[in-house]
Amino acid sequence: MAARVILYVLFVVALITVVCCSSATLKPADTPYKVQYVEQYVDNFNFVSYGQRTYKQRVLVSDTYWEKSKGPIFFYTGNEGPITAFWEASGFVKELAAKFKALLVFAEHRYYGESLPFGNRSFTGENIGLLSVEQAMADYARLMTGMRTQLGCESPDVCPIITFGGSYGGMLSAYMRFKYPNLVTGALAASAPIYLVAGLTEEHQFFQDVTEDFRKSDAHCPLKVQSAFVQMDELAAEGQQGLKEISDRFRLCSPLTDRQDLSHLYGWVRNSFTTLAMLDYPYRTAFEAKLPANPVNVACGLILNSSDLLKGLSQAAGLVYNGTDGTLECFDIFQEFIACADPTGCGLGDDSTAWDYQACTEVTLLESTNNVTDMFPPHNYTAEARAEYCRDTFGVTPRPDWMGIQFWGKNILSSSNIIFSNGDLDPWRRGGVLTNLSSSLVAITIEGGAHHLDLRGTNPADPASVTQARQQEEALIGQWISQATNQVWEGPTTK
C-alpha cells in the first residue's frame, strides 16, 4: 500500500528524533517536547485538484511519560492558533499524561501557526478553500493512524487514543469521536459550543452571559458600562467636537472621524470585555492577552472607581490591549481590533484571517446585542449581514445548515465516551452540552470556572470546583482506557 508506506516512512524520520527524558523530578509544566513536521495531503478529499501535493503539519510530541507501545496517546486536536499556545495552556493534559504514562501529541490545525498548506500564499484566492473542519479532521485521522503503526501500537488493545481540546479544539475532540471512533476511544471536549456553532442557540444569549459575568463582579458594573455607551452616543451626536472628546478621554492615537469609527470603538470595547469574561481566571495568565488575576473584577474596579466614565471604560478595555505591563502611550483601535465574521472577534494576523474564513463558511457564529439583556450597544448580526460580509471578504457564501448536518446538531446520543465540561463564568457554555445525555456522554459544570479552565495546569488559586472536575475527568478517562485495554482500572498508575 504505497501511500501508507510513504506516510510511515516520514514517521520514522520524524519520531526517532524524540528524546526520552526521565520523568522522576520533572514538573508537568516543564514537560519537554520535540517538534515534528508531518507530511499531509493538501487536499484529503479530492485526488485530482492537488494530486499528491503535501504540506508539513507541525506536531508537538513528548514521550516523557509514555509506556512505550502500550500507554495511551493523549492527542490535543489543535484549534485556531499556533499549537505551542495550546501546549502552554493545557497543563492538565500533561499532569494526566504523567499519571497514565501517556504519549503527548499536540497537532496543529492546518492554516494556523506554521501548518500552512501553501506557505505565505495560503490565504489568497482558491488556496484558502482547503481550510475546513473536515480537512483538519482528516489530517488528524491520518496522523493517528500513521503514529499507531509507527510506534508499535497496531494491536487495538494498546495505546488507546484520547482526544483533548478547548473551545473549537474541544469541538474537534468531540467530532473526532463522532466521526472516527475507530481511532478515538474517548474525548475531553472542554468549553465546546457544539450547539451554538450549528446555529441551534438563541442569538442574544452569548453577550447576555458576558454581561452577567460583569454583574456577578458588581451589580453596578454593567449599568455603568451602559451609561458610558449612552454618554458616547450623546457626545457623538454633537459631531466632530464630541468625537474628539471621546477620542481624548479614550486615549486614542488618532481621533474618531465619523459614526463608523465610533462603531469600531464599540467593537473594540466589546471584544475586550468578551475576552475578559472568557479568560476570567483566578490567577495571572498570558493565553491570549497578559491579564491580571480575576480580570473582570479588575475591569469593574477601574470602571466603578474612575471619576471619568469614559476613561474608566478605556482603562478597563485596555486590560486586554495594553496588557499587565501597560506600555501603550495610546490605543490604535484599528490595529488592536479587526471586525470579522465572528462577532466575538478573530484576533490578529494570518490566524485571524483563517478563523474569519471558517466563520464565513462552516462555523456559524451569529451572536447579537440588544442593550436590553446585555450592556452593549444594539447590534443585530443577521445571517444576511454575515453572508454579505463573507461574499465581500472571501467571495464565499455561508452554508448555515451544514454544521448541524455534518456534526449531528443535537442528535448525538449514538456517540459515547465524551466529557463536555463548561465553566459557569464562560459565555460560551450555553452553546454546549450542559446535562448528562447518557452514562458516557457526561456534562461537567465548573462553578467559578472561565473558558476551559479545567485544561489548565493545577494552580494554588484553583477553585475547589475545577479540582473536583479534573478528578472526575481523570476517573472517566481512566475507565475508558481500562475498557479499551481490557484492564481493571485501579486509579492512576502513578501519583
Active site residues: 167, 426, 451
Neighbours of 234 (CB within 10 A): 10
123 with 350: CB under 8 angstroms?
yes
Using CB under 8 A as the binding rule, whether residue 380 contacts a copy of itself is answered as no
Please identify which residue in 22, 414, 439, 494 interacts with a copy of itself, judged by CB under 8 A. 414
Stretch of residues binding a copy of itself (CB under 8 A), selected from 158-166, 178-186, 263-271, 470-478:
178-186
Residue 389 C-beta: closest distance to a copy of itself, Å: 13
Q: What is the DSSP string of 229-288?
A: HHHHHHHHHT-HHHHHHHHHHHTBSS---SHHHHHHHHHHHHHHHHHHHHT--SS-EESS
Interactions with a copy of itself, residue window 22-61 (CB under 8 A) = 41, 45-49, 51-52
The helix or strand, by DSSP H or E, that contains position 93, with its residue range, turns out to be helix 91-100
Q: Cβ closer to a copy of itself: 41 or 337?
A: 41
DSSP 18: P
- Alpha carbon of 268 to those of 331, 382, 415, 438: distances in Å? 10, 20, 40, 41
Is residue 259 at the binding interface for a copy of itself, with CB under 8 A as the rule?
A: no
Stretch that binds a copy of itself, among 31-39, 140-148, 168-176, 203-211 (CB under 8 A): 140-148
Alpha-carbon distance 284 to 290, whole Å? 8
Stretch that binds a copy of itself, among 264-272, 308-316, 333-341, 395-403 (CB under 8 A): 395-403
- Grid cell for residue 187: 474525548
Q: Is residue 163 a contact partner of residue 173, using CB atoms and an 8 Å limit?
A: yes
**Considering only residues 253, 293, 339, 387, which one is a binding residue for a copy of itself as defined by CB under 8 A?**
387
Q: Does residue number 110 form part of the binding site for a copy of itself (CB under 8 A)?
A: no
* Interface pick for a copy of itself out of 263, 306, 370, 406 (rule CB under 8 A): 406
Size of the site for a copy of itself (CB under 8 A): 57
Minimum CB separation of residue 179 from a copy of itself in Å reads 6
Q: How many CB atoms lie within 10 A of CB 447?
A: 13
315 versus 415: smaller Cβ distance to a copy of itself: 415
In three-state secondary structure terms, 214 is helix
Residue with cell 482500572: 489
468 binds a copy of itself per the rule CB under 8 A: no
Q: Report which of 273, 248, 190 is spatially closest to residue 442, judged by C-alpha positions.
A: 190
Q: Which residues bind a copy of itself (CB under 8 A)?
A: 1-4, 7, 41, 45-49, 51-52, 125-126, 128-130, 132, 134-135, 138, 141-142, 145, 156, 179-183, 199, 360-362, 383-384, 387, 394-402, 404-406, 408-409, 411-412, 414-416
